[in-house]
Amino acid sequence: MSKNFTQNYMADELGIDVANYGRLERGETGVSVERLKKIGEILGVKVSFLMDEKSNEDGEENQKHSEILKEILKEIKTIRTKLTQ
């Protein structure tokens, strides 16, 4: 079943404009835990699972979190794309 998870739809559901959602999806801006939870709800994805899968114990704590969030955003974009097909 195809779902209409366009950037417009996602932005509307998150209460942000499309340009900001695009930056979020490309990893150009940070994302809060609350927003990640909302994205997970919209897509039907457990964000905690994504975070566990992407854990990395090397490097600085901030760098680790930044890389994890980038990977999560890539996963979200992939899932959203698959759901629209």
**What share of the chain in percent tops pLDDT 70?**
75
How much is the pLDDT for 81? 83
> If you average pLDDT over every residue of the chain, what do you get?
77
The overall pTM is greater than 0.85: no
Buried b (16+ CB within 10 A) or exposed e, 59-77: eeeeeeeeebbebbbebbb
Cα angle 29, 32, 38 (rounded to 5 degrees) comes to 110
**In the predicted model, what is the mean pLDDT of residues 21-50?**
82
How much is the pLDDT for 60? 52
Q: Which amino acid is located at 2 in the chain?
A: S
The pLDDT tens digits for 43-69 are 887 777 556 544 444 445 556 666 777
How much is the pLDDT for 62? 52
**In the predicted model, what is the mean pLDDT of residues 9-29?**
91
Q: Could you write out the DSSP letters of every residue in 18-48?
A: HHHHHHHHTTSS---HHHHHHHHHHHT--HH
Q: List the domain boundaries for the chain.
A: 7-84
Q: Which amino acid is located at 66 in the chain?
A: S
Q: Which of 39, 69, 38, 66 is nearest to 51 (CA)?
A: 69
